[in-house]
Structure 1
Amino acid sequence: MLWLLLAVVAIAGTRNAGWAQSEEKPPINAAASPRPSPAVSPQASAEPSPTPPPPPYNRLTWRSVGPAISGGRVAAVVGSARNPKLYYLGAGGGGVWKSENGAATWTSVFEKTRIASIGAIAIDPDNDDVVWVGTGETNPRNDVIAGAGIYKSTDAGKTWTYMGLRETQQISSIAIDPRDSNRIVVGTLGDIFADSPDRGVYRTTDGGKTWQKTLYLTPSSGVSDLKVDPKDFSVMYAGMWHFRRLPWTFTSGGPDDGLFKSSDAGATWTRLSGHGLPTGLTGRIGLAVAPSDPRRVYALIESKDGILWRSDNAGADWTLVSKNTLVDQRPFYFSHVDVDPSDADHVYGISEMLSESKDGGKTFREIADGVHVDFHAMWIAPNDPKRAIVGEDGGYALTLDGGDNWSFSENLAIGQVYHVGYDDETPYRVCAALQDNNAYCGPSNALNPNGIPNRDWENVVGGDGEWALPDPTDPNFVWSDSEDGFLSLYNRRARQGRNVSPWLSTSAASFNISRARYRFNWDAPIAFSPWNPGTVWYGGDAVFQTTDRGESWRPISPDLTLDDKAHQQPSGSPLAYDVSGAEYTDTILDIEGSPLHRDEIWVGTDDGLVQLTRDGGRHWKNVTPPHLEPYGRFEIVAPSTLVGGTAYAVLDRHYLGDRTPYAYVTHDFGAHWTSITQGLPSDQPLRSIRPDMRDAHIAYVGSEEGVYISYDGGTTWRPFMPGMPAAPIFDLRVQPRYNDLLAATHGRSLYIFDDLTPVQEFGRATAARDMLFAPRPAYEFSLHADEDSTYTKYYAKNPPRGAMLSFYQATPGSSPPAVRVYGAQRRLVRTIAGDRCVEKKPQPFVTNDAGLNRTTWDLRENGPVRWNGAAREAYKGPRTGAYVLPGTYTIQMTLGGRTFSQAIAVRPDPRVPYTAAQRAERHAYSEAALGKFSAVDAALNRLDAVIASAQKAATANASNATLSATLDHTVARARDVRGELTADYHNDEDSIQIPGKLREDLQGLDLSGTGGPPTQAERSLAARVAAEYAAAMRDVSAFFASDVATANRALAAARGAPLSESQPAPKLDCATDESG
């Protein structure tokens, strides 16, 4: 089936504009001939504005939850010839990533530019620290995102400098002269949705300070590929390609397209034609020049005459060597070719499958079994042909043995999510429907101390996942869909899915949907009735309804679209059809029922309509905002959960060449609409919108770059992206019980903003100047470390363990505030203050910033006294006490001179079936053990202080033999008593060579305070340890009453000070701390 085989994408993406508003660019010479244009400086291309200061909620951040088990589209890959561990890759919607350990782990290095789409990456052949990135991928599916120029790093990706070419939008190629790093040639495809003069070949001879456009044909033709002779930078080849995308189709190929050659390093160009090249129209062209014999050139050409051509004399003559479609399955989406650096006959076809030929392109065979299909990029080490990295729809794959074995992308959260789903379990699960990577459901909190591993994600549908929503009546069932209206109901317990589509089309009807009974968008929506969760809706051109989990369906609407038959013809022209379902139009994109009014259903279509029924589908009304041009996409129409008649909508028109953001709100069921875009970047299309579920004045909108928030019902917007990289936001949902905001990013997988309370209360907090927010209930979850043993280990972030405590202060305090937790009868349970070690650096437990802050109470009590003299930090004893019993506690903070208090409910782990009495038994058991532990460590600290003091006094009184002898005896006795308390281990394996003492026995008791009642064996051990404790503490008391007293009398007789029984608390030493 098509849904299992194709790598196809939906929902349009566009150019990321950073925080800047659009700026006019001075015109440059754009003559319709391949002649150079005057030099253009980077500034003339409207450099994106720098990121503004962090907003006041910068301490509250989004967290990435994955999944990384299946990546997203990687459009650019490159490695280092010098350093076999160094690689960079560029994702279609996920930015630039760097690995310095052979792809074992990756670091995102491009986030500060606020640009998500990457088209090309090049490492300076003379210096690995110099890296160039061309933004805007050139695989122009309907979810392609525009870039914003070319960037350069001179410090191996730590920082980036904008170097111009912003308006070119999509950059396909970068070539750097190995003998002169200031000479760079760039191939740009340009805007794929509108005519533009900003496309073609650009050249710089001063390192990017100025650029010349040296090859330009028409406002709709740009560079699909550009390759350079590896031995002579003056010789290079470029493929020129006309491509235009519309909401309902695309065209690939035009009369001006073709192959060009330069012999003067890109300064001038000559069209190559005839001499064996195809005649007639051509489309996308992929190129490769053999490093071992640069006279050998391969050209993969979209043409009706063939597929792969070869020249053996540097482009003078050409031979058609292959018509095998394996080499180029879908020319507009793939069309790349590469050559073994050591063998000009060994050529790779980079298409749906990765294939190779060892006879100069005459015959090909598939390789890279097991690697995700749909390849877009390949880099082969010039000094080691067996080492290569490829980019594909599933991420990347790396081989070190010429393709016999591959390591896969399982450690990059660059999934291109269409929509996010969630259930209401504790903790709740989220679902991510991924472009060409199935749909997965996994935990929002894995209850694994390492984080959320890949293994916790469950595949619920194959193909291109668009929606995956747990059934609200039973989260064991997950509704998922993929292209062409394929709807699946997955049973998690049975691990089985079944087709529950309301309509199944024939192949002929799917190929030409103007003849189909029903039409379904690539991103056909699923929705549940708020007033009857057993009712499910599915969108085609009509709304379908089932009440029996898909056994039967009935339409509850007529065709709600424009039904323009001219837009329903097979897509792709003029060289070849490409009917994947991604261009299906005149369909429904969103269905949402109002939770306030039964039978109220809102619908948004992909041809620019908003439809409403208030009687369950018996009657429908077109309530589209007035004066809109047709064919825009109403991606989301979201009714308010708080105010009747209110709905928010976003319209996307970037497919029509219009990047303006469109957002609307109605308060009277669509009779009147108000445009609400103030504060949004003027060239970022919008993809999603969601009103808050607790404050009717708050709304969230998702753009091509990220999330924005409004506190005044959409009148004004401000960025809401703390901790979130740039990425298109295709969906926003609020998990109502947890009050979390969920974001489906199309390039960085799923993100969660935990507990919106401080955001929702922000206005009230700023008016009060200081505020401690009411925390949500906290669960004492039991964690289990389930190690992921894969080579490319990956863990996403859990929420903080325990209770999240958020507060606001207008100005920082004179010192960081402290948190105090009280139990019943105002008993102080915990104080949270001071510093802790985080990644070997001291960080305050409680931040002290102006604005919103957040800290965490781990639900433990204050810890016991710690033994400062232990050999290692980890051996000094527990930092915290037992977990508190479930119940209600009081959080107290002093802010701005005022004391604030909030109650918090602590709840037990719902998976653990102990009674309150059983939990209390366990807690009392641990508390008793911790009390003894604290007393022992306090005694050890006293003994250490006496030893140090006695040694110092003995040195000072060395001439007094009697006193010195008394003090030496005291030191010896103190060491003996200390030896009864602890074995004083210095290393982990000491315990198998030295028997433990009282302190080690106490460590063998459960100190956590969680779980069921102590077992008989635990009680027996505790009783024996208690007897050991009583005897040891009697010796401690006797030592201080006798030996220390005797020494103090001797010191007094010699007019000396008594022995000290305390020492200053040691300073926090993060350099040696083993906890983080």
Structure 2
Amino acid sequence: MKNLKMIFSVLPLLLAGCLAVFLTLENEYNEEKEERETARGRDEYRLMMRGGSWQPEKVMAARQFLKEQVETLQTTVNPHKRDAGINQWTELGPKDFSGRVRAIAVHPTDPNILFVGGVSGGIWKSTNGGASWTPLNDFLPSLSVTSILIHPTGPDTMYLSTGEAFVVSTAPGAGIFKSIDGGDTWNLIDALDPNNLTGFHWVNKLVFHPTDRTILFAATGGNSISSPGLGCGEIYKITGSGSGIIDLGTSNICLGTGLSVAVSAEDPDTILACFSGGLLVSGDGGQTWDPKGTSDGFLAVPGRVEVALDPANQSRIYALCENPGENYGVLMHSTNAGRTWATLNPTMAIFDAGGGENNGWYHNTVWVDPTNADIIIVGGVNLWRSTNRGISFIPISDWTEYTNGLSPHADQHIIVAASNYGPTNKKVYIGNDGGIVSTNNIGSAFVTTGWNLLNNNSFGTTQFYASGTSGQSPNRLIGGAQDNGVIMSTDNGTTWTHEITGDGGYCGFSSTSDLIYASTQRGKFYVNGLGMLVGWIPFEDLDVIDTSVFIAPMKIYPNDGDVVLMGGESLWRRDLAALTAPSTNVGPQPQINRFVTAIDIALDSSLVLVGYNNGSVYKATPGTWNWTLVSTSVIPDACSSWNGPITDIAIHPTNTDKIMISRGGYEDCNIIFTNDGGTTWQSRSDGIPALQVNCLTWHPDIGNWIYAGTDLGVMASENNGQDWNVMPNFGGSDGPAFVEVTELQFATASVFGTRTLTATTYGRGIWKTSTSVRKDIFIDEDCINCGVGTQSFPFSNISDAEDAQAHGQTWTIDAGIYTVPSNNKLVIDKKIGKVNTTNGSVIIGQN
């Protein structure tokens, strides 16, 4: 590490550092407040990194492609599986800082059994009232669970919906699923065609018909979501326990995406359909619809609307309105089943965390006590309670106390009563951006009292943008998460601590010093480990010196961990050995609306590449910083429309001429490769469907092995990306789940020939696996499609052995005549090794 003694001898710097520590503590509120104000920035960023559209048909095709590949492997005798050494995955957490929950269901006869859905983490079950949780299926076609229903008299029958359509937060879902064994297994309902899910890519809410449980109603988003619109949502009636579907025609009126639906138990012909842009009411079972407006006493521009029916009198209905353009929500009520309305509470400051922006489009829920109609709970940023039927409210939670374990997380999405709720049992469950909480008495819970945080170190649904592992200490992990800030573990994931609030971004550990780096939304960067200056010190804000994407990329120099690169419109270099020295703009020349989205540095720090949101890639030698464009007209013909955002760049660890690049969007050409430093490029997308690829990493020891993190898990190649594997034991990818993998990193140290690979996900936390390096390779030409180069399942040709090579391997080749590789040479890629033969000699020749 460079000398840091200067920090302690220069008084102004010490004072600046102390002030920075103070400001870090002082401004935790402001950091999180900014996140409350910029949720759309997050969604716009995620959409941009996917080329501007989710393209649900391509997502569906990718899932089907992987499914078919798995089925082929499962029926093949001794299939040749190229998994690049991936073994079983181990979940590292965090399981107490969880991700967003919009779905909660309580077993109707056993209140200790709960089901919860993460919007990108799948369905989970608890049998002890939330004390612990178990994931039910990590390989559902979609882990974006938005709604869960349990049949009230036959609880083995369950339904769940997939696809969260709140702006552009998550990938398209895969329709509506049904279970007949209490959630152990799930299948698409009979009425839906897995090859054509038009209209059911985003299903936000399911409800039962109040008297006929063979009928369900579904609120859905448009067929596609792309900025700036959400499309026209629809309300569907599902009949015959999932065997039939009736389109109720609400999209003809088009009030935006369908977010929820409510049906009166007293008069099931009364249906209320809630949209991102208003409310529709039907009095004839959905045959006709009446859009609510000023002539009915409703708001002219209500924005998102959520409703709750008074259980004791279902003609009394409450509607919580976003009220866009104002910094407060509006609570309306109707006493005649939604035909006319009156304003009950016109200035509800529940959607604003203090910055003046109304986020009622995102966090918006209302609930009426089933046993006491005077009590109404509304949720926005925090939770509020009324004891006089909505005339006045008091706050009963404070998200700033969440990390102290005293109050619910911010952004409330769903409120559900316990199945045995009654006058003496007031237990309620709440889903929000931090997972699930409960209170034993919703009538008395207050800001920091009466709350139970139920993630309980077992609900692993954290949505990570990025993470970092430590080469010096493999037990240290750090990650930046959606709405959970920066969180860190020093014991290999057993426990985690909350470090910085906001939306966490790129993080990492210095490989040469004690420094730890972190970032939050819009290019705010922090460092920890500067000797006596304990705590996180902000050292750069790209919003001040530049402009960046919502999650600005950062890379630490591999051979000088005091130096980092950060991406805005330009690339910025900062040397933390001199904390007061400003960041330096090292280029390339900025252009309007062009932002850095990916950075990589060669292992010896001799080369830097940067990628942009328009698909361009530049390279330079650090120090001189003379930039060369390497990816405009030289891309392969298969990638003629290469203009999407660069999601990652991977420079080979021992040969800087070998570079792999991925781009965002559901495109057939999503990965390109060069072995001449960028002069020519080849498509390396065979075996990967038109699927979002988020990250890439090379194996540190085996020159041809590379790994890709996609929206459906990890995929691996053993031949420089010429082929990508499909693994039957992981449902179609190399695991760890059918989830977005946002970061892949290898531990610096190798233990007995095994490397640890860490996969960071957006919805299922962080995982690790070991990748075993094969030291002994066996080849036998008589073994047809045999396997993986082991003695029992040898390769059948020389080329496969070359693809699997590593340092110091021994090749054992059975006697025979073998075709040489295409270059007519038998080479072990300049690696030290030896070749043995068994049962006589081997003739290497051409056919």
TM-score range, shorter chain: 0.7 to 0.9
Cα distance in 1 for partners of 2:133, 2:151 equals 20
Q: How does 1:250-649 map to 2 (within 5 A)?
A: 257-278=277-298, 280-303=300-323, 304=325, 307-329=330-352, 330-369=359-398, 370-381=407-418, 384=421, 386-402=426-442, 404=445, 405-408=450-453, 409-410=455-456, 411-425=458-472, 427-443=474-490, 445=492, 453-454=494-495, 457-474=496-513, 476-491=514-529, 496-503=534-541, 505=543, 517-549=545-577, 550-558=579-587, 562-564=591-593, 586-596=594-604, 598-616=605-623, 618-626=625-633, 632-649=644-661
Q: How does 1:751-830 map to 2 (within 5 A)?
A: 751-758=767-774, 809-810=792-793
Q: Is the 8 A contact 1:328 1:349 kept in 2?
A: no
Q: Is the 8 A contact 1:420 1:742 kept in 2?
A: no
1:491 shift after superposition = 2.7
1:175 aligns with 2:202: no
Q: How does 1:803-952 map to 2 (within 5 A)?
A: 809-810=792-793
Q: 1:264 to 1:676 in 2, by over 3 A?
A: farther
Matched residue, 2:13:
none
Q: Is the 8 A contact 1:527 1:592 kept in 2?
A: yes
For each residue in 1:133-175, what CA deviation from the matched residue of structure 2 results, as whole angstroms up to 9, or x when unmatched? 10012333x5422211110111110111102273322211111
One-letter identity of the residue aligned with 2:417: I
1:768 shift after superposition = 11
Matched residue, 2:756:
740
Matched residue, 1:134:
161
1:563 shift after superposition = 1.7
Which has the higher relative contact order, 1 or 2, with Cα contacts under 8 A spaced 6 or more apart?
A: 2
One-letter identity of the residue aligned with 1:535: V
Cα distance in 2 for partners of 1:171, 1:160 equals 16
Matched residue, 2:672:
664
One-letter identity of the residue aligned with 1:534: D
Matched residue, 1:64:
91
Q: Is the 8 A contact 1:561 1:607 kept in 2?
A: no
Q: Is the 8 A contact 1:634 1:651 kept in 2?
A: yes
For each residue in 1:406-456, what CA deviation from the matched residue of structure 2 results, as whole angstroms up to 9, or x when unmatched? 2212321111111121112354422222211122232464xxxxxx533xx
Q: Is the 8 A contact 2:517 2:526 kept in 1?
A: yes
One-letter identity of the residue aligned with 1:453: T
Matched residue, 2:225:
192
Q: Is the 8 A contact 1:231 1:291 kept in 2?
A: no
Q: Is the 8 A contact 2:87 2:771 kept in 1?
A: no
Query: Which one has the largest radius of gyration?
Result: 1
Cα distance in 2 for partners of 1:360, 1:117 equals 34
Is the helix fraction higher in 1 or 2? 1
1:700 shift after superposition = 0.9
Question: Per the alignment, in what secondary structure is the counterpart of residue 60 of structure 1?
Answer: coil
Matched residue, 1:230:
265
Cα distance in 1 for partners of 2:441, 2:647 equals 46
Q: Which runs of 5+ in 2 are unaligned?
A: 1-26, 48-53, 353-358, 399-406, 634-638, 795-837, 840-847
Cα distance in 1 for partners of 2:772, 2:139 equals 25
1:222 shift after superposition = 2.3
One-letter identity of the residue aligned with 2:512: T
For each residue in 1:302-336, what CA deviation from the matched residue of structure 2 results, as whole angstroms up to 9, or x when unmatched? 33475221111111111122233433331221122
Matched residue, 2:107:
80
The two structures have a TM-score, normalised by structure 1, of: 0.60
Compare 154-163 and 52-61 and name the one that shifted more: 52-61
Matched residue, 1:103:
130
1:623 shift after superposition = 2.5
One-letter identity of the residue aligned with 1:111: D
One-letter identity of the residue aligned with 2:215: R
One-letter identity of the residue aligned with 2:553: P
The two structures have a TM-score, normalised by structure 2, of: 0.75
Matched residue, 2:7:
none
Question: Per the alignment, in what secondary structure is the counterpart of residue 295 of structure 1?
Answer: strand
Q: 1:339 to 1:220 in 2, by over 3 A?
A: closer
Matched residue, 1:835:
none
Q: 1:479 to 1:197 in 2, by over 3 A?
A: closer
- From 21, 34, 46, the equivalent of 1:12 is 46
Cα distance in 1 for partners of 2:290, 2:780 equals 65
Matched residue, 2:723:
716
1:70 shift after superposition = 0.8
Over the aligned positions, Cα root-mean-square deviation in angstroms equals: 3.5
1:108 shift after superposition = 1.0
One-letter identity of the residue aligned with 2:502: G
1:594 shift after superposition = 1.3
Q: 1:766 to 1:158 in 2, by over 3 A?
A: farther
Cα distance in 2 for partners of 1:230, 1:381 equals 19
Q: Is the 8 A contact 1:692 1:699 kept in 2?
A: yes
Q: Is the 8 A contact 1:769 1:808 kept in 2?
A: no
1:611 shift after superposition = 2.0
For each residue in 1:569-598, what CA deviation from the matched residue of structure 2 results, as whole angstroms up to 9, or x when unmatched? xxxxxxxxxxxxxxxxx43222211125x4
One-letter identity of the residue aligned with 1:132: Y
Cα distance in 2 for partners of 1:750, 1:766 equals 39
One-letter identity of the residue aligned with 1:518: D
One-letter identity of the residue aligned with 1:677: S
One-letter identity of the residue aligned with 2:183: G
Q: Which runs of 5+ in 1 are unaligned?
A: 25-45, 242-256, 446-451, 506-515, 565-585, 774-805, 812-895, 898-1076
Question: Per the alignment, in what secondary structure is the counterpart of residue 159 of structure 1?
Answer: coil
Cα distance in 2 for partners of 1:808, 1:117 equals 42
Q: 1:280 to 1:76 in 2, by over 3 A?
A: same
- From 705, 712, 717, the equivalent of 2:712 is 705
1:765 shift after superposition = 7.4
Matched residue, 1:122:
149
Cα distance in 2 for partners of 1:232, 1:466 equals 50
Cα distance in 2 for partners of 1:716, 1:284 equals 46
Q: 1:762 to 1:314 in 2, by over 3 A?
A: farther
One-letter identity of the residue aligned with 1:668: D
One-letter identity of the residue aligned with 1:809: S
- From 644, 663, 683, the equivalent of 1:651 is 663
1:219 shift after superposition = 8.0
Cα distance in 2 for partners of 1:301, 1:660 equals 42
Matched residue, 1:221:
256
Q: 1:16 to 1:272 in 2, by over 3 A?
A: closer
Q: Is the 8 A contact 1:91 1:747 kept in 2?
A: yes
Q: Is the 8 A contact 2:418 2:428 kept in 1?
A: yes
Q: 1:99 to 1:613 in 2, by over 3 A?
A: same
